[in-house]
């Protein structure tokens, strides 16, 4: 039984454990936005809360965005984001399971696996500089894109995303403040102070304004006028 899993996305380590009902197979995250059972709902929430930010960007899919509005209209998570996260799960699942079990060693930052543990990449592929994914993996990516799009068009999409939004509010607060790196009970609240905005300054419209502002007009341009 799989009790924990370390997923490596874009240099980020994501620790998943049995307390979050870790599935035995990544297909448990499909179909997207599956709310049919309590378990499938947990997988849906985990996918978008713990993993999606590693593809969409931690500075894009932030706690504040998660609570602000539903996933689809937010524009922060794309169809290709959703497809790629599941593609990675399907490709690296067995490798990550072996890593969590201690069957994969690490040398100079490179993971050395015993045997073939990825579906569509090998030791030299899966990286941009080495050519990327096998054709079968790209076909799978296209299929997942269609699955993501279909889930967004489904009648159940609104309720599923609204449920996730409420889940996020429960985790991060109504404004996402609990997920802010600057939040904390030990810090005193600060007053709002409007600071000078250099980009809000309008250029002077005539020579008089130039002189008043302390900028001397070009001599040649003055005589030319």
What's the pLDDT score for residue 17? 60
Total structural domains within the chain: 1
Residue 213: pLDDT band with limits 50, 70, 90: very low
User: pTM of the full predicted structure?
Assistant: 0.69
Domain of 143, in residue numbers? 4-179
Inside any domain, residue 35:
yes
Q: Give me the pLDDT at residue 184, please.
A: 44
Task: Flag whether pLDDT at 206 surpasses 50.
Answer: yes
Mean pLDDT of the chain: 76
Region class of 108: left (phi > 0), else alpha (psi between -120 and 50), else beta: left
Distance CA 110, CA 36 (A): 39
pLDDT band of 97, cuts 50, 70, 90: confident
16 lies in some domain: yes
Inform me whether the pLDDT recorded for 164 exceeds 70. yes
Averaged pLDDT for residues 125-143: 75
Q: Is residue 189 part of a domain?
A: no
In a domain, 127, yes or no: yes
Residue 111 inside a domain? The answer is yes
6, 79, 98, 173 from 124: Cα distances, Å: 21, 27, 19, 43
Residue 146 counted as domain residue: yes
Q: Is residue 207 part of a domain?
A: no
Give CA–CA dist 134/121, Å, rounded.
Answer: 7
In a domain, 58, yes or no: yes
Specify the 3-state DSSP secondary structure of 68. Answer: helix
């Amino acid at each position: 039984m799989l009790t924990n899993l370390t997923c490596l996305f874009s240099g980020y380590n994501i620790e998943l454990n049995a307390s979050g009902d870790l599935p035995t197979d990544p297909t448990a995250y499909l179909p997207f936005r599956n709310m049919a059972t309590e378990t499938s709902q947990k997988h849906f929430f985990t996918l978008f809360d713990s993993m999606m930010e590693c593809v969409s960007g931690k500075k894009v899919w932030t706690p504040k965005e998660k609570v602000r509005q539903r996933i689809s209209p937010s524009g922060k998570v794309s169809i290709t984001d959703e497809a790629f996260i599941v593609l990675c799960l399907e490709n690296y699942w067995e490798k990550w399971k072996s890593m969590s079990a201690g069957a994969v060693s690490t040398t100079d930052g490179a993971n050395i696996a015993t045997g073939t543990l990825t579906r569509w990449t090998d030791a030299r592929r899966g990286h941009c500089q080495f050519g990327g994914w096998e054709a079968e993996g790209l076909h799978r990516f296209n299929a997942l894109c269609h699955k993501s799009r279909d889930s967004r068009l489904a009648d159940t999409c609104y309720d599923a995303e609204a449920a996730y939004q409420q889940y996020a509010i429960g985790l991060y607060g109504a404004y996402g403040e609990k997920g802010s790196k600057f939040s904390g009970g030990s810090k005193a609240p600060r007053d709002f102070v409007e600071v000078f905005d250099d980009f809000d300054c309008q250029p002077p419209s005539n020579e008089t304004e130039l002189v008043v502002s302390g900028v001397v007009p070009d001599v040649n341009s003055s005589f030319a006028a």
